[in-house]
Amino acid sequence: MCLAIPARIETRRGDRATVEVGGSRTDVLLSLVPGAGEGDWVLVHAGYAITVLDEAEARETYDLLAEGRRRAAENG
């Protein structure tokens, strides 16, 4: 199963950025979203930002992921 996670760009250095994902920071490549900048929300998969999101889309995705985790925990 593949999963892309919303993340907010904190700093950009050329085609790389540090993003915040659920309280953790990681580095990603921005070559697929060259117009993304600090403060933007991006969808991250396998170390690459693959699309730019608005904050509402990012929050909705976080909510869906949380609901999936809750249901998985209930079903053991």
pLDDT of residue 1: 64
In the chain, the domains with their CATH numbers are 5-74 (2.30.30.140)
pTM of the model as a whole? 0.84
What's the CA gap between 24 and 35, in Å, rounded?
23
Element (H, E) at 23: none
What's the CA gap between 11 and 62, in Å, rounded?
21
Encode pLDDT of 42-58 as tens digits. 999 999 999 999 999 99
What's the CA gap between 50 and 29, in Å, rounded?
9
Q: Confidence band (pLDDT; 50, 70, 90) for 41?
A: very high
